């Protein structure tokens, strides 16, 4: 692709993978979204979906000359469904890869130290010392901004989630995307809601965390997640161009998710394709001035 941002969903499930035949339309892998443009590649979260993305990157880099491949991976938080794919990420074991890893730290513990604890004995047989890629570690905190090649800007905002976490916003020349997993925005009038709204203001694509419908929310209050009706409201309030709902419950079948999507579209009096329940493999291209789906 010459111009524009291409956003691809490699994993749309929340909490745990769901590799079952009645769930394949929306997909079985856990959270992972890539954004690529002419000069760079960013990835949001390292759920199980990251493994297949890594295989494709490795395959493509093998066709290039000796040029080093650089990948920026932004981790929202360290819950297992968001990092388990990193432990098996094929690019970690390639000498010609440079991997920039961004993720939340906590008092007295860097992101690197937190992640190393997960990728170590007895939880995993391969440790970070055995990786071959050139890895650079970055701690992410509320308000941090990074500039990636091609003048692409990535900004972080703290989310509302058990054990903490960060959401990310990526702004490129041709569009912007907000990666809002995992997050419970809470009450509409609250300070956090307002801050989220500002953070996402005018984005072209809002990826919103909503494993539930409104009627299920009360039983899951405090779990750190939202419901799709909130996604519609947030998208309207911040003026998002499109809304993709993700972090689907592992138990949800294709039929159930498609029904919820139809309901969301009815409620939104949908302009064609404004609200979409994310499917694994789906791709959105944001190109100068307009946007269209691409496969």
> Which residues of this protein are in contact with Zn ion, per CB under 5 A?
14, 79, 81, 182
- What is the rounded end-to-end Cα distance, in angstroms, of the chain? 12
Q: Cα separation of 39 and 117, whole Å?
A: 33
Angle at 270 between CA 265 and CA 273, to 5 degrees: 85
* CB of 254 vs Zn ion, minimal distance in Å: 20
Sign of CA dihedral 148, 154, 155, 159: negative
Report which residue's Cβ sits closest to Zn ion: 79
Q: Cα separation of 143 and 145, whole Å?
A: 6
* CB of 15 vs Zn ion, minimal distance in Å: 6
* CB of 203 vs Zn ion, minimal distance in Å: 21
Instruction: CB nearer to Zn ion: give 72 or 82.
Output: 82
* CB of 45 vs Zn ion, minimal distance in Å: 8
Instruction: CB nearer to Zn ion: give 116 or 223.
Output: 223
Q: E-assigned strands of 17-96?
A: 32-37, 40-44, 69-74
Half-sphere exposure of 42 (CA within 13 A, CB side): 28
* CB of 161 vs Zn ion, minimal distance in Å: 6
Residue 43, classed as helix, strand or coil, is strand
Instruction: CB nearer to Zn ion: give 32 or 152.
Output: 32
Instruction: CB nearer to Zn ion: give 80 or 268.
Output: 80
Instruction: CB nearer to Zn ion: give 182 or 291.
Output: 182
State which H helix or E strand residue 236 sits in. helix 228-238
* CB of 163 vs Zn ion, minimal distance in Å: 7
Q: Torsion over CA of 36, 29, 63 and 147, rounded to 10 degrees?
A: 30
Q: Parallel, antiparallel, or unpaired: how do β-strands 242-246 and 205-209 relate?
A: parallel
Are the C-beta atoms of 145 and 157 separated by less than 8 Å? no
Instruction: CB nearer to Zn ion: give 182 or 249.
Output: 182
Instruction: CB nearer to Zn ion: give 32 or 133.
Output: 32
Angle at 168 between CA 195 and CA 25, to 5 degrees: 115
* CB of 177 vs Zn ion, minimal distance in Å: 18
């Amino acid at each position: 692709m010459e111009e524009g941002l291409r956003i691809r969903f490699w994993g749309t499930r929340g909490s745990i993978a769901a590799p079952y035949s009645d769930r394949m339309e929306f997909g079985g892998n856990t959270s992972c979204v890539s954004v690529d443009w002419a000069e760079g590649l960013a990835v949001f979260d390292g759920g199980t979906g990251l493994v297949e993305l890594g295989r494709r990157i490795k395959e493509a880099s093998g066709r290039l000359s000796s040029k080093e491949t650089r990948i920026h991976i932004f981790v929202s938080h360290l819950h297992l469904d968001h990092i388990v794919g990193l432990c098996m990420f094929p690019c970690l074991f390639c000498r010609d890869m440079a991997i920039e890893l961004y993720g939340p730290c906590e008092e007295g513990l860097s992101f690197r130290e937190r992640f190393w604890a997960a990728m170590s004995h007895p939880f995993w047989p391969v440790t970070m010392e055995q990786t071959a890629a050139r890895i650079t570690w970055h701690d992410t905190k509320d308000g941090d901004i990074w500039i990636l090649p091609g003048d692409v800007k990535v900004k972080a905002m703290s989310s509302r989630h058990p054990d903490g976490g960060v959401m990310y916003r990526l702004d490129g020349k041709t569009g912007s995307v907000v990666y809002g997993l995992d997050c419970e925005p809470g009450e509409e009038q609250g300070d956090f809601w307002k801050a989220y709204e500002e953070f996402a203001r005018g984005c072209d694509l809002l990826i919103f965390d909503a494993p539930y419908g409104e009627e299920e929310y009360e039983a899951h209050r405090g779990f750190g997640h939202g419901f799709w009706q909130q996604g519609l409201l947030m998208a309207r309030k911040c003026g998002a161009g499109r809304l993709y709902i993700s972090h689907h419950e592992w138990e949800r079948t294709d039929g159930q998710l498609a029904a919820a999507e139809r309901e969301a579209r009815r409620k939104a009096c949908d302009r064609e394709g404004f609200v979409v329940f994310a499917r694994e493999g789906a791709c959105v291209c944001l190109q100068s001035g307009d946007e269209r789906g691409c496969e």
